[in-house]
Amino acid sequence: MNELKLSKRLETVAKYIPEHAVLADIGSDHAYLPCYALLNGLAKRAIAGEITDGPFNSAKNQVERLELSELISVRKGDGLEVVKCGEADAITIAGMGGALIADILEKGKDKLEGVRRLILQPNIHAYHIREWLYKENYELLDEEILEEDGKFYEVLAASPGDKDRPYKGIDFEIGMLTGPFLSKEKNAVFIKKWSRELHHLEGIYRGLENAAPSAENQQKQEDILKRMKQLKEVLDRG
């Protein structure tokens, strides 16, 4: 992967960047995504944010090597603290857990004024992001699920808007868990991911059945049984 050829997951993130955006890429690593966005005319300026020295220096060297320093500002800081209020109109956060991405958004939500697009790529637990978006009145515009190098990734694009629109006509909890767009489309990658998760939960449930009885185990069994029922419902639905 480099600034000319992104990984499949980052290519998917890039396609949701609005035209002529001022992009802030949080956790930018080597700044591949903002460099790609500038070189391909997806963004007019960008900010690459990193919290640790190694990735920050890698991003800075990459931007300088491509002579993009006047268009891409590489900044060191925690989450959205690298962005000034109103400075960016599109924000990408990729390659982290869903809970961490939601936490970054929550801690930096005062910086989101004027942002017209959030593009978020959690490695796991995308439902944390959906819950945050819903709570903060963001409308989920689209979702994609993909498999790369044996791992599953989801990409979520959202803007301020009608938070309820994507969940109309589906079970709300299932939509939060598996994605309102993804559970309607139900492509081969979606089925593979959630079938694997269902199999995993069935194994845990069998283990709890053989464990010593306790109130805690009983509650875990009930929670897992509920989740299994939800997954079977979405997988079995035609």
Q: Where are the domains of the chain?
A: 8-169, 189-236
pLDDT in tens, 28-75: 989 999 999 999 999 999 999 999 999 999 999 999 999 999 999 999
Say if CB 25 and CB 95 are below 8 A apart: no
Residue 143 backbone dihedrals phi, psi, to 5 degrees? -145, 150
**pLDDT tens-place string over residues 116-167:** 999 999 999 999 999 999 999 999 999 999 999 999 999 999 999 999 999 9
Output phi, psi for 6, to 5 deg: -85, 165
The rounded distance, in Å, linking the Cα atoms of 152 and 7 is 13
Name the pLDDT band for 3 (thresholds 50, 70, 90).
low
Give the CATH class of 8-169.
alpha beta
- pTM score, two decimals? 0.94
Tokens of 71: 């268009």
Q: What is the mean pLDDT of the chain?
A: 95
Q: What's the pLDDT tens digit per position in 167-224?
A: 999 999 999 999 999 999 999 999 999 999 999 999 999 999 888 889 999 999 999 9
